[in-house]
Amino acid sequence: MTPPPRKVSFSSLQPAPEAPGIASETTEIGGNRWARVRYEPDVLREEWCDEGHEGFVLEGAITYEFQDGSETLRLVAGEAFSLPGARVHRGTAGAQGALLFIIDREPE
C-alpha cells in the first residue's frame, strides 16, 4: 500500500543533542531518518561516521574530512551532498555554524 503524503515540521520537534555542539530534530519516514542538524560555530564532530547520508546545507558551511585522507569536501548554504557509507567521514562547521537537512537511508 502506498503511504499517504506527509508534512514534517522540524520546528515542532524537540532538539536532541548528538555530540558536543551538535543537536538535531529527527523523524522517520519510510524507514529512513530525516533530520535537521545544527552545528555550533567551528564545532568538529569528533567521532567518525560510517553511515551514508544525503543532504542539503540550509545555512552556514561545513567541511567533511575522510578517514582515508582523501580530499575534503567543503559545502556552503545552497549546496547538496551525498556521502556514501563506505567513505568514513566527520564534519566541521564553519565560523557561522551550519544548519543541515539530512536523510540517512537504510542500507540496501
- Sequence-distant (≥ 6) Cβ neighbours of residue 1 within 8 angstroms: none
Q: Is 87 among the domain residues? A: yes
Q: How many CB atoms lie within 10 A of CB 36?
A: 20
Instruction: Kindly list the distances between the CA atom of residue 94 and the CA atoms of 28, 36, 65, in Å, as whole numbers in the listed order.
Output: 28, 17, 13
Residue 107's pLDDT is: 58
- Kindly state the DSSP code that residue 86 receives in the 8-state scheme: T
* CATH number of the domain that residue 107 is part of: 2.60.120.10
Q: Is residue 49 part of a domain?
A: yes
Q: How many domains does the chain have?
A: 1
Length of the chain: 108
Expressed as residue numbers, the domain containing 93 is: 36-108
In this structure, is residue 45 part of a structural domain?
A: yes
Domain assignment present for 27: no
pTM for the whole structure:
0.90
Domain assignment of residue 93, yes or no? yes
Which one is predicted more confidently, 98 or 108? 98
Residue-wise pLDDT tens digits, 13-63: 999 999 999 999 999 988 889 999 999 999 999 999 998 899 999 999 999
Is there a domain that residue 4 lies in? no
